[in-house]
Each structure stands twice: as C-alpha cells, then as structure tokens.
C-alpha cells in the first residue's frame, strides 16, 4: 500500500503520452450533448461483429450467451456511476432496495441505452422463487437485425444486455445472475414476436439484507 502513495507522481509520467491537443479524458464533460445519439446501423454492424467474435471456439449456446454476458458486464458497472452523476444532485441516491434498483434499470438505464423505458417489470409469482424478478422488453434493440437460425433457437443475443443489467446489479451491491429468454413467437399473429424477458435472480444475501433493512425502517 505504501508504494501506492507515490509522493512523486512525475516518476510515473515517463511512459505517459498526452494527446497532441493536450486534452485528456479528464478534460471532457460528463454530461452528454443533445445530439450524442449513435446511428443504429453502425451499432448493428458492431454488434454483429461482437456476436461473431464471441462465437469463435464456443462449445454451445450457453457458452456463447455467457461470453456475450461477460462483454456487457463491465459496461453495466461503469454506467451505474455515470447514470447517477447525471441525475440532479437532489435525486443522486444510491439504490438501497431491490425495487429502487430495478426502477433505476427500467427507467434510467433503458432510456440511456435505448431511448425509451423497458416495457414491464414483474416479480416472480412463484412463492418458491421470491428472489426472481423479470424485466420485459417487447422489442430489444440489439435483436432488431438478428435472425436466429432454427438449430440455435435457444439463443437470444440480448444476453449482452443481460450482462449490462448484471453489471449494474453487481456494482450496486446486489449480486445477481441475469439471463435473457425469448418468450414471443410461439403463436401466429402475435404482436411482439421478439419479446424478451430478462430474468434477474438475486443472491440469497441480498434478500437477507433486504428483510433486515425493511425490518428497521
């Protein structure tokens, strides 16, 4: 820990290169400008490359989804801080319970990533799994240009988004497993064939703490 103090920062500067205009990441504002939206086609192109990359040397669909999940995870962890710092100071609150966290995901995270809120938020009705929550998106943006081949019908590339959600949950101190499941397309003439459910399964310790906090309040 003592070498961390580094009273002389100039020692470490030797290998550092500044951009020619002298501006580092610290000189850029955190608030985004109004026109900072990205084109969907360039995202689709990049995402297709990411799926192809993840698909190399995988053993199965589960493995592929795991890799997509891993790609999204660090994004979620970092976005959490960015989303809160963009809030007005009065509502800059860390989520303390599951509901507050899921609302942050449904509203703030979704609006930031996809420009709209998630469609529904549900708690598992099964009394044996009180640790499961579901976030429903009728038409995930990441799947807009993806058609899954018949033999891989289990695959849902929104596993990437599930990874982002998992990153947010883990970062906020609510360790969870998040998986993406396609639920649409089972019957003819359905309104949302691409409907995807993100199943959030929290660890036992989260529920334990939750009951303690509620008990106190």
Partner 1 sequence: MSYYFAIIGTQDNPLFEYDFGTSKQGGDGQPRFSDQARHLNQFVVHSSLDIVEEVQWTRGEMYLKVVDKFFNNYISCFATAGNVKFLLLHQPPPAASSGGSTSRSSTSIGANPTSPQTEEAIKSFFNEVYDNYVKAIMSPFYKVNMEIRSPVFRSRVAAAGRKYL
Point out which residues bind partner 1 (CB under 8 A): 1, 4-6, 9-10, 12-13, 16, 24-26, 28, 30, 74, 77-78, 80-85, 92-96, 100, 171-173, 209, 213, 216
Closest approach of partner 1 to the CB of residue 5, in Å: 5
Q: Which residue from 76, 55, 38, 79 is spatially nearest to 157, judged by alpha carbons?
A: 55
Structural contact between residues 166 and 148, judged by C-beta atoms closer than 8 angstroms: no
Closest approach of partner 1 to the CB of residue 31, in Å: 10
User: Is the Cβ of residue 37 or residue 208 nearer to partner 1 in the bound state?
Assistant: 208
H helix or E strand, kind and range, residue 136: strand 132-137
Cα radius of gyration (the chain): 20
User: Is the Cβ of residue 29 or residue 149 nearer to partner 1 in the bound state?
Assistant: 29
Q: Which residue from 211, 100, 118 is spatially nearest to 162, judged by alpha carbons?
A: 118
User: Is the Cβ of residue 57 or residue 216 nearer to partner 1 in the bound state?
Assistant: 216
Query: Within a 10 A sphere around the Cβ of 90, how many other Cβ atoms?
Result: 6
Closest approach of partner 1 to the CB of residue 115, in Å: 20
Structural contact between residues 197 and 135, judged by C-beta atoms closer than 8 angstroms: yes
User: Is the Cβ of residue 12 or residue 186 nearer to partner 1 in the bound state?
Assistant: 12
**What is the token pair recorded at 139?**
């038409």
User: Is the Cβ of residue 112 or residue 120 nearer to partner 1 in the bound state?
Assistant: 112
Closest approach of partner 1 to the CB of residue 217, in Å: 9
């Amino acid at each position: 820990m003592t070498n961390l103090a580094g009273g002389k920062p100039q020692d470490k500067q030797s290998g550092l290169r500044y951009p020619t205009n002298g501006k580092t990441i610290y000189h850029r504002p955190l608030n985004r400008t109004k026109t900072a939206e990205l084109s969907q086609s360039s995202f689709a192109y990049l995402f297709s490359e990411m799926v192809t990359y993840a698909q190399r040397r995988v053993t199965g669909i589960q493995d592929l989804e795991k890799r997509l999940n891993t790609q999204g995870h660090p994004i979620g962890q970092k976005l959490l801080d960015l989303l809160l710092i963009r809030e007005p100071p009065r509502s800059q609150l860390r989520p303390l319970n599951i509901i507050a966290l899921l609302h942050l995901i449904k509203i703030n995270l979704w609006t930031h990533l996809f420009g709209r809120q998630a469609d529904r938020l549900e708690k598992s009705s099964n009394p044996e799994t009180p640790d499961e929550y579901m976030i429903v998106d009728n038409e995930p943006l990441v799947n807009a240009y993806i058609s899954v081949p018949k033999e891989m019908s289990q695959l849902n590339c929104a596993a990437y988004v599930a990874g982002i959600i998992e990153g947010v949950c883990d970062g906020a101190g609510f360790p969870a497993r998040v998986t993406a499941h396609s639920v649409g397309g089972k019957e003819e003439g359905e309104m949302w064939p691409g409907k995807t459910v993100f199943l959030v399964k929290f660890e036992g310790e989260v529920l334990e703490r939750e009951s303690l906090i509620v008990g106190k309040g």
